[in-house]
Amino acid sequence: MRNFVWLVIGIYQSRSVHLSKIAGKIPGSAKLLSITRRLNRFLDNPAIRVREWYEPIAHQWLQAQLYCLRESRLIVDGTKVDFGHQLLIVSLAYQKRAIPIAWTWVKHVRGHSSVLNAQRIQLEGESQRKLRAERSMSNT
């Protein structure tokens, strides 16, 4: 649990998801490389279920955004990671920041894949319908 807490604090303070930058914000006498490796081992642990732990937080952010502003702006981005793969991320736009809500890997050869475009449309449509439904339920 301690590593998870330091990971979250490090992400917040460093404003980055790079382990070396996060490790630089964790206090202690350990060397930067040692802290980076500890965080990497923590994230590689199969008992750590990021999606399962993160989903309630992301859901709460979306609901809070809808409640306060009556709208949510979602950003969908596909980033080429290596040959044959892209990372598709859906983020919540909040105060000039993009807060990741959901992500998945997409097999992709090059250029703009039709799979990526289809998934974008599907995610955007499902998110909008879900957000509208949640908003109407919160107004009743």
Mean pLDDT to the nearest integer, 98-116: 67
0.95 exceeded by the pTM?
no
Q: Which two three-digit tokens encode residue 81?
A: 């990671």
Q: What is the pLDDT of residues 20-76, one digit of tens each?
A: 999 999 998 999 999 999 999 998 898 888 778 778 877 887 788 777 777 777 888
Instruction: Label residues 23-57 b or e (16+ Cβ within 10 Å = b).
Output: bebbeeeeeeeebbebbeebeeeeeeeeeeeeeee
